[in-house]
């Protein structure tokens, strides 16, 4: 029976898990393979860039278009599968939805997954599905589950000791559902040093690695000492384990080291050549892609760039789906394509795994999946008279698209298929989040046996260690 937690229950349970996690001792590495050592896997990637389309990116309006039906007053909503015409990409026989022409031109450099199936978590809440996508665990849990970036930071460490191993770009926590978003932007029991270095706005990224304008070094150091004192008097200082306290101390030391390093210039986008800057500058997301490129050059390990989740904005198209997607495509098309080309031309793409994904898809009529519908959250009229009703406005979990480039991923490959008629569900090679995570770990050389003893039980990178890498995606 599926859990139907509301937001309040979700917050109460994750908050309790946070307090419980602080008291845990040092996580003990588990050794469960037959030879008492973790499986050795040759790595094809050193770095991961996750480009997350937060809010629910409709597959039929982006990378898996279906029959195009232009808007007309009096049309039936059941006619609408795609609201944009399609165009041919660099892959023979593969079309994308209009507005993604730049990404279409570089698809010979990567793999297109058309059969990602999101979990059934009951009543659909974006932040619960985002939690599941980023941690591989269904919320809530009895401990704070590490983000995939934190697992990678813990297992592989920094490529450059000055650059934080996990950097998160573009998401504010001052917008709606900010507390729920914080629930998975965490290293959990792995410790604060492996948590995300947060840059809400890439255009002001330099401010994250230097004291405020007008503040002297001595005054900054005094503030830093005051912060350390406040931490000691906080819940962590009172209830936290020695491991958690030491981990927080190391994270603070690492941030201070970055502050005084030449590598801090990577965060200064004004140093980028004008032509390059302008090609990325479609807004906050585009500049996030530019910052990601610069951080890869300096030895970043895991970088997440998001279009940002804020309820009823961006990809969260509860109305005006068609017109909203025009703007979203303009935001992502040029910078994603430029990022892949720049990494390829610099020779870094071969060792950098780039992923474009969303928590689930959308449909005009189906909420959830056809055989297991959940409560409709959007009213869709049978007859469309107004442009605001033209588009994909309901949450769909049975067919989503993911793009992968570099880092040992096949070039010019297509995996899986969805039906051409509604419901446009996965009909070939369904793949779920545990396989996506293990494929990423496999590319990085992280063993599928990786686990730590928490609360006297093994806690794996994927639930119970059952996730399997999909090797068909890799060279």
Which range in 186-190, 232-236, 331-335 is most confidently predicted, on average pLDDT? 331-335
Which range in 28-42, 175-189, 210-224 is most confidently predicted, on average pLDDT? 175-189
What are the pLDDT digits (tens) for 149-158?
Answer: 999 999 999 9
* Range in 8-17, 152-161, 390-399 the model is least confident about: 8-17
Asked if pLDDT for residue 58 goes beyond 90, the answer is yes
* Range in 45-54, 147-156, 208-217 the model is least confident about: 208-217
Residues 6+ away with beta carbon under 8 Å from 435: 467, 468, 469, 470
Per-residue pLDDT, averaged over 273-282, amounts to: 98
Angle made by CA atoms 329, 185, 435, in degrees to the nearest 5: 70
Confidence of residue 32 (pLDDT cuts 50, 70, 90): very low
The per-residue pLDDT for 342 is: 98
The per-residue pLDDT for 246 is: 76
Question: What distance in Å separates the CA atoms of residue 142 and residue 157, rounded to the nearest whole number?
Answer: 26
What are the pLDDT digits (tens) for 59-104?
Answer: 999 999 999 999 999 999 999 999 999 999 999 999 999 999 999 9
Q: Which residues of 78-117 are buried (b: 16+ CB within 10 A; e: fewer)?
A: eebbbbbebeebebeebbbbbbbebbbebbebbbbbbbbb
Strand partners, 50: 304, 355
Q: Which of 54, 137, 48 is nearest to 407 (CA)?
A: 48
Asked if pLDDT for residue 343 goes beyond 70, the answer is yes
Asked if pLDDT for residue 227 goes beyond 60, the answer is no
Express as a percent the part of the chain with pLDDT over 90. 74
Other C-beta atoms lying within 10 Å of the C-beta of residue 218: 8
The per-residue pLDDT for 163 is: 94
Domains by residue range for the chain, with CATH: 7-473 (3.40.720.10)
Confidence of residue 298 (pLDDT cuts 50, 70, 90): very high
Question: What distance in Å separates the CA atoms of residue 15 and residue 378, rounded to the nearest whole number?
Answer: 30
What are the pLDDT digits (tens) for 416-454?
Answer: 999 999 999 999 999 999 999 999 999 999 999 999 998
The per-residue pLDDT for 258 is: 81
Residues 6+ away with beta carbon under 8 Å from 355: 48, 49, 50, 51, 402, 403, 404, 440
Compute the half-sphere exposure of residue 102: CA atoms within 13 Å on the CB side of its CA.
15
Per-residue pLDDT, averaged over 326-350, amounts to: 98
The per-residue pLDDT for 206 is: 83
Provide the whole-model pTM.
Answer: 0.88
What tokens appear for 327 in the block?
């703007």
**Are 406 and 10 contacting, i.e. CB atoms less than 8 angstroms apart?**
no
Mean pLDDT of the chain: 89
The per-residue pLDDT for 259 is: 75
The per-residue pLDDT for 92 is: 95
Confidence of residue 207 (pLDDT cuts 50, 70, 90): confident
Confidence of residue 405 (pLDDT cuts 50, 70, 90): very high
Compute the half-sphere exposure of residue 271: CA atoms within 13 Å on the CB side of its CA.
11
What are the pLDDT digits (tens) for 238-260?
Answer: 555 676 667 666 666 676 678 77
Question: What distance in Å separates the CA atoms of residue 262 and residue 76, rounded to the nearest whole number?
Answer: 60
Question: What distance in Å separates the CA atoms of residue 340 and residue 343, rounded to the nearest whole number?
Answer: 5
Confidence of residue 169 (pLDDT cuts 50, 70, 90): very high
The per-residue pLDDT for 35 is: 37
Asked if pLDDT for residue 7 goes beyond 80, the answer is no
């Amino acid at each position: 029976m599926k859990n139907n937690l509301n937001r309040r229950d979700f917050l109460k349970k994750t908050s309790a898990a946070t307090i419980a996690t602080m008291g845990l001792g040092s996580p003990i590495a588990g050794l469960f393979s037959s030879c008492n050592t973790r499986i050795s896997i040759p790595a094809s990637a050193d770095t991961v860039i996750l480009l997350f389309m937060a809010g629910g990116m409709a597959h039929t309006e982006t990378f898996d278009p279906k029959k195009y039906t232009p808007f007309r007053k009096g049309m039936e909503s059941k006619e609408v599968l795609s609201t944009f015409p399609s165009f041919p990409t660099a892959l023979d026989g593969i079309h994308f939805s209009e507005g993604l022409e730049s990404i279409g031109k570089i698809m010979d450099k990567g793999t297109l997954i058309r059969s990602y199936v999101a979990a059934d978590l009951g009543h659909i809440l974006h932040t619960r599905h985002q939690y599941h996508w980023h941690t591989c665990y269904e919320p809530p849990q009895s401990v704070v589950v590490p983000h995939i970036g934190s697992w990678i930071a813990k297992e592989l460490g920094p490529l450059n000791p000055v650059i934080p191993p996990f950097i998160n770009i573009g998401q504010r926590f001052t917008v709606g559902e900010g507390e729920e978003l914080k629930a998975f932007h965490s290293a959990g029991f792995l410790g604060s040093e492996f948590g995300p270095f947060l840059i809400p706005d890439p255009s002001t990224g330099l401010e994250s690695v230097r004291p405020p304008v007008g503040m002297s070094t001595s005054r900054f150091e005094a503030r830093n000492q005051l912060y350390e004192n406040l931490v000691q008097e906080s819940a962590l200082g009172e209830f936290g384990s020695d491991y958690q306290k030491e981990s927080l101390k190391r994270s603070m030391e690492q941030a201070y080291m970055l502050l005084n390093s030449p590598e801090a210039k990577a965060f200064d986008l004004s140093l980028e050549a004008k032509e390059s800057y302008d090609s990325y500058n479609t807004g906050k997301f585009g500049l996030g892609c530019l910052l990601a490129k610069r951080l890869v050059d300096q030895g970043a390990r895991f970088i997440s760039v998001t279009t940002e989740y804020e309820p009823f904005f961006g990809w969260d198209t509860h109305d005006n789906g068609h017109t909203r997607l025009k703007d979203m495509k303009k935001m992502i098309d040029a910078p994603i394509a430029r990022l892949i080309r720049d990494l390829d031309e610099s020779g870094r793409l071969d060792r950098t795994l780039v992923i474009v994904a969303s928590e689930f898809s959308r449909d005009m009529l189906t909420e959830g999946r056809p055989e297991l519908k959940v409560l409709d959250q959007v009213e869709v009229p049978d007859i469309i008279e107004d442009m605001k009703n033209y588009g994909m406005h309901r949450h769909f979990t049975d067919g989503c698209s993911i793009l992968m480039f570099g880092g040992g991923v096949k070039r010019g490959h297509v995996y899986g298929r969805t039906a051409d008629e509604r419901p446009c569900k996965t009909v070939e090679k369904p793949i779920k989040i545990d396989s996506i995570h293990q494929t990423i770990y496999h590319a990085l050389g992280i063993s599928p046996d990786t686990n730590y003893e928490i609360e006297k039980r093994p806690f794996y990178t994927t639930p119970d260690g059952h996730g399997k890498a999909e090797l068909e995606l890799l060279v």
